[in-house]
């Protein structure tokens, strides 16, 4: 499964990309607002740091305006993926983007029926928001499973990008459910490395090694 970072913090991204485990980046208007920076500049910097897909979201709600904004965003770099909302207008824009060869990430998906429409429109990625579904008493992973079954039934090329992920357990469950990608906050990415038994085991190994008085170098 591909791992994307959901961030506009260039410094954090640069640090975590050095692991070689970051496959792409997603952004949204809320993250851009928190950064206090110019959106186009931020996206350009991020695209210079990672070779994988970088999702940049349109702000318009009408299809023609989404197309204009999306074309401008796609012109920043070849790895920009235009992010559009899962609305009627958004899917109309998605279909046109597909004809133009512009990659898209259809976001704010909360049902399998919505995901089916996005795939029919030619979306490159679909972003089901599993955490928000959990917040409202549903099981977000059930949605991933349903989308996976539908896409496999009809050989849709659209990739499932699990979004609104809150924990390493969410990442694991999304992988088991068949998500192609998962976008996660930097803090959750760092938590993936951790387990208390790993820490204890390493501490014991280092203590035993120190007792030998040896040095590998």
Q: List residues with catalytic annotation.
A: 83
Q: Which residue has the tokens 């203590």?
A: 207
The CA distances from residue 189 to 178, 185, 201, in Å, are 19, 6, 22
Are 146 and 166 spatial neighbours (Cβ–Cβ below 8 Å)?
Answer: no
Calpha distance 130→148 (Å, rounded): 14
Residue 150 has a CB neighbour count (10 Å cut-off) of: 16
Spatial separation of the C-alpha atoms in residues 171 and 185, rounded to whole Å? 11
Spatial distance between the Cα atoms of 127 and 30, rounded to a whole number of angstroms: 16
Of 58, 42, 53, 100, the closest CA to residue 80 belongs to 53
Which helix (H) or strand (E) is 57 found in, with range?
A: strand 54-57
Give, rounded to a whole angstrom, the gap between the first and last alpha carbons of the chain.
37
Q: What are phi and psi of 79, to 5 degrees?
A: -100, 10
């Amino acid at each position: 499964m591909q791992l994307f970072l959901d961030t506009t913090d260039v410094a954090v991204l640069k640090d975590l990309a050095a692991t070689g485990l970051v496959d792409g980046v997603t952004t949204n208007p809320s993250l851009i607002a928190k950064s206090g920076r110019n959106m186009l500049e931020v996206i350009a910097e991020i695209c210079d740091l990672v070779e994988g897909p970088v999702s940049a979201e349109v702000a318009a709600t009408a299809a023609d305006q989404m197309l204009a904004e999306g074309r401008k965003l796609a012109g920043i770099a070849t790895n920009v993926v235009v992010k559009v909302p899962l609305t009627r207008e958004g899917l109309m824009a998605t279909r046109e983007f597909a004809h133009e060869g512009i990659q898209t990430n259809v976001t704010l998906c909360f049902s399998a029926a919505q995901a089916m429409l996005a795939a029919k429109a030619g979306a490159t990625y679909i972003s089901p928001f599993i955490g928000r579904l959990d917040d409202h008493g549903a099981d977000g992973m059930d949605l991933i499973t349903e989308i996976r079954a539908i896409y496999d039934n009809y050989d849709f090329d659209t990739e499932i990008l699990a979004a609104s992920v809150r924990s390493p357990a969410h990442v694991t469950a999304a992988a088991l459910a068949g998500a192609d990608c998962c976008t996660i906050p930097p803090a959750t990415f760092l938590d993936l490395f951790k387990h208390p038994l790993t820490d204890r085991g390493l501490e014991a190994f280092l203590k035993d090694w120190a007792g030998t008085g040896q040095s590998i170098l």
